Structure 1
Amino acid sequence: MLVVILAVVAVLALLGLVHRWLWVRLVRDTTRAGGAARRAGTVLAFALPVLSLAAVVGGHAGAPFWLQRVVAWPGFLWLAVLLYLTLAMLPAEPVRHVWLRRLSRDTAGAAPEPVGAAGPGAPGSGARPPSREGAVAGTAPRAAAPAAGTPAAPAGPEADPAPGASEAAPAPGGPEADLAPAGPAAASAPAGPEAASAPGGPAAASASGVCEGASAPGGPEAVLAPGGPEAARASGGPEAALAPASPEAVLAPGGPEAASGPEAPEGAPGGGLPRRVFVARVLGGAAVAAAGVTVGGGAYGVLRGPRVKRVRVPLARLPRAAHGFRIAVVSDVHLGPILGRAHTRRVVETVNRTQPDLIAVVGDLVDGSVHDLGPAAEPLRELRARHGSFFVTGNHEYFSGAQQWVDHVRELGLVPLENARRELPHFDLAGVNDVQGEKEGKGPDFQAALGDRDRSRTSVLLAHQPVVIHDAVRHGVDLQLSGHTHGGQLWPGNYVAELANPTVAGLERYGDTQLYVSRGAGAWGPPVRVGAPSDITVVELASYHT
C-alpha cells in the first residue's frame, strides 16, 4: 500500500512540474504581466489539471453520473493535449536556446558604427591629431608666413565670404582666433562658389581639419572631449547645435538624432517585440497548433466510429467445412461518460454490415454501472450473427461490478462465457474471465474452460488480456482472440504497452497457438487515438485441407 501511495505522489508531483513548465513557456513568456491573457492562462493552468483529476477519479469515487459527464470532456481531452504539448515543447527548448543566441549575435554584429568614429588620428583617416598646444589655443597649426615685404595676395571673388559666413566661420576666442589661418587643410581647399554656397560658409564646407582648428564650434572643450567633436556634439548643448552634421546623419531617416542617437531597444524582427517574447510566441504557437491538430484528428477518428479490419488465419486442425468461417471481434468499447448510446449504435451497425458467422465481445465493454450505462448498451440487442454473440469480461467490468454486467448482457441476447466452453459444429469456442477477477476469486480458470475437451478439435479462446497466451499454449489452444491494449491508443503509448503485453496489436504465433489482438472499438480516458485507429476485426478462419 505504501508503494502505491508513493507512486501516486510521484506521478502528481511530475504532473505539477510539467504544468508549471508549460505555464512558464506558454503563458509567462508570451504575455504581459498583469494582462488579461496572463490571468486567463494562469487560471487554465490550475483549472485543467483539477478537471483531469476529477475525470479520472470521479467514477471510482461514486460521483453522480451527470457530474462525471460534465468533467469528462474537458478533463480527459486536456490529458491528451497535455501529452502532445509536452512532446512538442521538449524539442522546442534547444531550438529556443539556439535561436535566441543567433538573434543576439546578429543584433550585436549589425550595430552601426557611431558617426565620426574614425576621426583625426584614427587608422586610415589620413589626418594627424591636432597638437595640445593648438587645441588649447583654439588655433590650427599655421602655414609658413610670407616673406617680409611681400605683398598680400589680392582678394578675389573666391575670397569673399558667403552670406552668413561672418556668423558661422568665427570661433570664440577673440580677434586672435579670427585672424589665425585655418591650417593646411583650409589653405589647400578651394574656396570657390561651392564653398560660398555651403550652409555656414567656407568654414562649414571645408574638410574636417577646419573643425580641428580655430573654426571648431565650442572651442577647446569640443576638441578635448573624448571622441573628438562628434562626442561633444552627441552630448547636447549649444556646441552640439552649432556643430556641422555629417551628410550621413542629415540624410538618415529621423535626422541626425536617429543616426547618432542611443541604440534602439532590443526587439524582434519586424514586430517591435522583445526577442524573447517573439521567440516564445512563435515556438509556443507552433506547439499549441501541433497538439491541437493531433488531438482533434484523433478525437474525430474515435467519434466517427471504428473501421472494419479483415484478417485471414489458417488453422491446421480446422475442417474443410469451416473454411471461411468469420468471427467479428469487438473489444474495448468503453461505454461511459463520453462514449454513449450513439457510439454503441455505430458499433452495432458496423458489425452487422460485415454479416459475421459469430460475434465475440472480448471485454471492457463499459466503464460504469448498469444503472448509469444500461441505456447506452441497449443497441447491443440488435447484434445479428448466425451462431450468436458471445461475451467475456475485461478488467474494467470489475471496476464497476462484473456480475451485474454478465447478467445484463445475457438479457441483451449475448452469451457470457465465464470459464466455459461451447461446442460449435466445427470447433470449440471457450472463454475465460479476466485476470482482474482474481481479486474477487473469479479469475481465469483454464482447466474449467478447456480441461476435458477433445484435443483433436480446433479450439478458439476468448480472453481479454493477451498475457494469458502462455496458459492457452499449455492447453493446446489454436487461436486466442484478445483486446485490452488499444494498440497503445496514444502514440508513443504503444512502446509502453509493449512492456506489459506479449503482443500489442495484430496476429502473432506462440508455438502452435496463434494470438490476435484487436486495437478496440472505443477509447479509454481521452476519446482520442493517435497512431492506433479503432477497429472491428473480422477474423476469417482458413483450413489447410482446402
Structure 2
Amino acid sequence: MVLVLVLVALIVLAVLALGHWYLWRRLVRDTTRGPGPARRAGTAVFVAGPLLMIAALVAERSGAPFWLQRTLAWPGFLWMALALYLLLAVATGEVIRPLLSRPRRVGRVGKTGVQGAEPPGTPTEAPGTQEPTRRLFVSRVVAGAAAGAAVATVGTGTYGVLRGPQVKRITVPLAKLPRAAHGFRIAVVSDIHLGPVLGRSFAQRVVDTVNATQPDLIAVVGDLVDGSVKDLGPAAAPLAQLSARHGAYFVTGNHEYFSGAEQWVAEVRSLGLHPLENARTELPYFDLAGVNDLQGESEGQGPDFQRALGDRDPARACVLLAHQPAQIHEAVRHGVDLQLSGHTHGGQLWPGNLIAAAANPTVAGLDRYGDTQLYVSRGAGAWGPPTRVGAPSDVTVIELAATRA
C-alpha cells in the first residue's frame, strides 16, 4: 500500500513538473530574447509557484503551526488556481499560434514591371532575419492574452467567494408532508471550509446570509472546517448566532475527520447547533435524520442508516442530512423522502465539474432516485484556492410543499 502511494505521489509530481515546464517554455522562454533579468524573474516565478502550492498542501494536512499555514495558504492555493487556468489558456493558444505565425507574402511591382521582382541593386534583408522577430512577437501576443485571461478568471472567481454565498431558493414537494407544514423553509449550508484562508469574517458573512432568509430550520451538512478547534475555534464562533424557529442541525463531512471530528462535534454543540450522529429527531411535521460521513469509516464512526432510520414511522415524511451525494442509495433503501447534501462544490473550478460528475451521482441541484429526492448544494466556501469558476457558492433555502389535498 505504501509503495502504491509513493508511486502515485511520484506520478503527480512528474505531471506537475511537466505542466510547469510547459508553461515556463511558452510564457517565459519563448517570450524573451535570451538569458537576462526578464527570463530570470519569470523562471523564479515558475519555480516558486509550485513549491508554495505543495508547501501549502503539506502544511494544512500535516497540522503545521497555524501561522505557517496562513502564510503559505494565500500564495500557494491561489497559484494552484492560476496554474490551472494558465495551462488551459496556453493550450488554447496553441490553436491560434499557427494562424498568427503564418507569413504573409505580399508581391510588389518593381521598376522592371515583374510582380515580386526588385530592381537590380535593391538592398535586401538577410534570409530568415524576419522569422525570429515575428515568432517572438507572436509568442508575446499569445502569452499576454493567455496570462490576462487566466488572471481575470481567477480574480473574478476569488472575488465571488470572498463576497460570500448568494441565496438560492427552490421548492421541493413531499408526498407525505402534512398541509400544516406547507411552506416550511430549510436553509441548507455546506462546505464552508473555515481554515487558513477563510476565517472569522467569512463565517460571519455566511451566518448573516443564512439568518437573513429567516428559515424555519438550518441544516449544516458537513465540511465546516479545515483545521483543529484550537486554531479555528474563534473563526467558527459566529455560528452561535445562527437563528431558526426549529434550530440548527449539523452532520459531519469528510474534512471533519481530517480535522478531528469528535472535537468539532463537541464544539458545534457548544455553539448551539444540534449534531446528528447517526441519529434522528421528530419534528412536528416530519422526521429529521442525519448520518456520519463515509470518511468516518476510517475511524469506526461511519454512517449507520439503520440506527438513524430503522425504527421510524414510515408514514411520516423524512428529511436526511448526509454530506456526500453518494449516500443517496442507502437513503433510497431506507425510504427517505429528501436527502440534503454538499461535498461536490459543484466542481468549484471548471472543468472540475466533469471530475465531480464521475465521482458523484449528482453534482449540484435537485434530482430524483426512485421515491427519494436528492438536493446537492454547491457549498458556501471553497477548499484550497478561495476561488470558484462556473460553480458559484450558495446558501439554498428549500421550501417544502405539501401535495396532499
TM-score (norm 2): 0.95
Q: Deviations over 1:433-491 (max 9, x none)?
A: 00000000000000000000111111000000000101000000000000000000111
> What does residue range 202-221 of structure 1 map to in structure 2 within 5 Å?
none
* Cα distance in structure 1, aligned partners of 2:110 and 2:310: 95
Deviation at 1:98, TM superposition (A): 3.4
Deviation at 1:110, TM superposition (A): 3.5
> What does residue range 132-531 of structure 1 map to in structure 2 within 5 Å?
234=121, 260-263=122-125, 266-267=129-130, 274-531=133-390
Q: Deviations over 1:166-212 (max 9, x none)?
A: xxxxxxxxxxxxxxxxxxxxxxxxxxxxxxxxxxxxxxxxxxxxxxx
Q: Is the 8 A contact 2:318 2:336 kept in 1?
A: yes
Amino acid paired to 2:124: P
Deviation at 1:34, TM superposition (A): 2.3
SS of structure 2 residue aligned to 1:385: coil
Q: Is the 8 A contact 1:323 1:543 kept in 2?
A: yes
Q: Deviations over 1:38-57 (max 9, x none)?
A: 11000011000000001111
* Cα distance in structure 2, aligned partners of 1:535 and 1:267: 54
Deviation at 1:116, TM superposition (A): 6.6
Amino acid paired to 1:263: E
Q: Which residue of 2 aligns with 1:160?
A: none
Deviation at 1:29, TM superposition (A): 0.8
The root-mean-square deviation of aligned C-alpha atoms, in Å, is: 1.8
Amino acid paired to 1:92: G
Q: Deviations over 1:226-254 (max 9, x none)?
A: xxxx87xx5xxxxxxxxxxxxxxxxxxxx
Amino acid paired to 1:476: G
Deviation at 1:32, TM superposition (A): 2.6
TM-score (norm 1): 0.71
Query: Which of these two proteins has the greater Rg computed from alpha carbons?
Result: 1
Q: Which residue of 2 aligns with 1:28?
A: 29
Deviation at 1:516, TM superposition (A): 0.3
Deviation at 1:11, TM superposition (A): 1.4
SS of structure 2 residue aligned to 1:345: helix
Deviation at 1:5, TM superposition (A): 2.1
Q: CA distance change for structure 1 residues 117 and 355 in 2, over 3 Å: closer, same or farther? A: closer
Amino acid paired to 1:50: L
Q: Is the 8 A contact 1:519 1:534 kept in 2?
A: yes
SS of structure 1 residue aligned to 2:168: strand
Identity percentage of aligned residues: 68
Q: Which residue of 2 aligns with 1:16?
A: 17
* Cα distance in structure 2, aligned partners of 1:466 and 1:39: 47
* Cα distance in structure 1, aligned partners of 2:355 and 2:147: 25
Amino acid paired to 2:299: E
Q: Is the 8 A contact 1:406 1:416 kept in 2?
A: yes
- Gapped regions of structure 2 (runs ≥ 5): none
Q: Which residue of 2 aligns with 1:42?
A: 43
Q: Deviations over 1:381-423 (max 9, x none)?
A: 0010000010000000000110000000000000100000001
* Cα distance in structure 1, aligned partners of 2:285 and 2:395: 24
* Cα distance in structure 1, aligned partners of 2:337 and 2:369: 10
Moved over 4 A (4+): 111-118
SS of structure 2 residue aligned to 1:317: coil
The number of aligned residues is 400
Q: Which residue of 1 aligns with 2:69?
A: 68
SS of structure 1 residue aligned to 2:24: helix
* Cα distance in structure 1, aligned partners of 2:341 and 2:31: 48
Q: Deviations over 1:115-173 (max 9, x none)?
A: 7798xxxxxxxxxxxxxxxxxxxxxxxxxxxxxxxxxxxxxxxxxxxxxxxxxxxxxxx
* Cα distance in structure 2, aligned partners of 1:489 and 1:34: 39
* Cα distance in structure 2, aligned partners of 1:442 and 1:28: 52
* Cα distance in structure 1, aligned partners of 2:92 and 2:293: 40
SS of structure 1 residue aligned to 2:232: helix
* Cα distance in structure 1, aligned partners of 2:260 and 2:6: 24
Q: Is the 8 A contact 2:365 2:375 kept in 1?
A: yes
Deviation at 1:37, TM superposition (A): 1.1
2:80 matches 1:79: yes
SS of structure 2 residue aligned to 1:274: helix
SS of structure 1 residue aligned to 2:61: coil
* Cα distance in structure 1, aligned partners of 2:266 and 2:130: 69
SS of structure 2 residue aligned to 1:43: helix
Question: By percentage of residues, which structure has more strand?
Answer: 2
Q: Is the 8 A contact 2:63 2:227 kept in 1?
A: no
Q: Is the 8 A contact 1:331 1:364 kept in 2?
A: yes
SS of structure 2 residue aligned to 1:58: helix
Q: Find the partner of 1:537 among 396, 400, 404.
A: 396
Q: Which residue of 2 aligns with 1:6?
A: 7
Q: Is the 8 A contact 1:266 1:275 kept in 2?
A: no
SS of structure 2 residue aligned to 1:456: coil
